[in-house]
Each structure stands twice: as C-alpha cells, then as structure tokens.
Amino acid sequence: MVRLLGAQDRLLTNLERQYPLVDVHVRGNEIRLTAQTDEPHAEEQLAAARSLVKELLAMVRNGQDLTPRDVDESKFIQDAHPHTSPSAVLGEDILSTRGKTLRPKTVGQQEYVRAIEDHTITFGIGPAGTGKTYLAMAKAVQALQRKEVERIILTRPAVEAGERLGFLPGTLTDKIDPYLRPLFDALNEMLDPEVVPKLMALGTIEVAPLAYMRGRTLNNSFIILDEAQNTTPEQMKMFLTRLGFDSKMVITGDITQVDLPAAASGLRLVTGILSEIEDIHFARLTSADVVRHSLVGRIVDAYSEYDEKSLAARQRRETKERSS
C-alpha cells in the first residue's frame, strides 16, 4: 500500500486529481473508491479509476517504483488505447543495470522497442526527448549481453548544431569527442563506467564518426546511427550499405532539427525511398512520447504548429505569385 500511494501520498493525490468525482479512502491495507452517483459521468469515472488502480497494483507487484508520471501515463494509455494494458506497456523490462530497470514509458516507445526486435533495420523518427537513442542503446546492450551480437557500433555525423566551432585544438580524438559525448553518456548510464573503456579497448564497443564507416562491412553487430537528420543522402546510402550478416541497424533522428548548411537531409529522403521494403520499419514517435520535463512536449507541439502555419503561409504566397 505504501508503494501504491507513494511518498506523502503523492500518487493518491494524483489519482484524485485525475478523477475529481471519485473519493478515495485508504484504511490499513484496503483502498476504497466511491462516487456520488447523481453526478453526471460519476459512474464512468469510478469504473475508470478502479481499472487504473488495478493496473497500478499490477505494476507495484511487478516490483516497479511508481512515480506521478506513471499514473498520468497509465491514465493516458487507458483513455487513448482502451484495448492496451498500461501495466503491460510500462512493465516491459528491456535492461536491468546498475540497480535500475529500463522500460518503455509510452505506447509509442513500446512499439519502437518491439520494432527493433522484429526488424533488421529500424528508423526511430521523432522529436527530442522521446527516447529514440536511449532505447536503441538499451536494446544494443541487451543484445550484447545475450550474445546475439559480438559488438556494438555507435556513430554520428560530426555536424555543428547551428554554430561554427572553428578550429579545435588537440588530437583527432579530442576533436571528435564533443560530437560523440551523448553516446558515451548513455553508455555510462547502462554499463559500469570502468567497464566501458575495457570493452572499447577490446573493440566490443566502438564509437566513431560516420565518416569512419566508409568501406566497411559490419557483421555480427548492433549498429546505431544517431542524429541521422544531419546526414546527406550520400552518407545515408553509404551507411545503410555497410550492413553485414547477423547484424541489426537502428537509425534515429528528428527531421525538424536539421543542422546541415545547405544540403537535403538523408533521413528525410530515405523515408520515401525505403518505406515499402520488407524488414525495414519506420517508427514515428510524437510529443506524446516525450519523457523529459512536461514542458518539452508542449514546446515540441508549439514549434510544430508554428512550422505548419509558416508552410501554409509560404504555399499561399507562392500560389499568389504564380497566379499574378
């Protein structure tokens, strides 16, 4: 009961906020839900609240430590996907490491994880904070631990995010390290930090710029291309054709955040070229899958709305110019 209610009854308070017509009473090890039946929609809220509590109990019994976000996401799944069990989505283990278990946080993330399992090449396309790279990294570490692959290869295009960094001092490793740092950070979260350098020294884990992939055939590997929106069409073709036997590829990116100076994005182009090929899957995550601060999802939606309005205005302007 303590784990269900949360510290200072935070989860209980959240549950009551979600269903304002439902009264929650806790006594000892018993939780009772009641509602004023003469209120409109009270019975509906009562049934939904009971179902939600059962789902939360299933997660607690599965060993999960619930957060207010889990309550919110469970209600969202229950409302938006009535035939999907929130406990089945949020309780699906991917990787247990360093005292914590990594799991999908949304239906979209669960579908993305399952697509990686079922396909040789998976594209994870969506806005910042949707777990595209993090979940791909977790699946890569899982595959390595299960001996499904012999090595993990992580790569990114070395492109500045809208600013010119100029000359960088130091060795080649010093120059490219800032671009690859997010991949190292994710690795260190999933593996003991002292183990990562050893695995890299053995070649079991390789982190390298995209330019280093040319001319190679990657067998028995789990290969992740991050920030793929910043690849040119030629780079994307080069990368995809590195695929060898018994390997799996995951390509992640956000086509709304392209930092290329003038060229077309290889990620945007490839969605039209490869969409009909079997064993290649395009997983599209949205602001509903953002697992950072709640403001991030609203920021993503605001920018999407702005981009749509700007595109519509530009199309109207071009149509008017042609007609005149």
pLDDT tens by residue, 77-126: 888 888 888 888 888 888 887 778 888 989 999 999 999 999 999 999 99
With a pLDDT cut of 90, the percent of the chain lying above it is 35
Lowest mean pLDDT among 21-30, 83-92, 159-168, 234-243: 159-168
Position 165 scores a pLDDT of 47
The structure tokens listed for 73 are 């996401």
Query: Is 263 or 134 the better-scoring residue by pLDDT?
Result: 134
- pTM (two decimals): 0.80
Neighbours of 223 (CB within 10 A): 26
Query: Is 66 or 109 the better-scoring residue by pLDDT?
Result: 109
CA nearest to 248, candidates 157, 148, 180, 156: 148
Contact (CB, 8 A) for 254 and 125: yes
Ranges of H-type helices in the chain: 2-5, 10-18, 42-61, 68-80, 86-90, 107-118, 132-145, 172-190, 195-202, 233-240, 266-273, 294-323
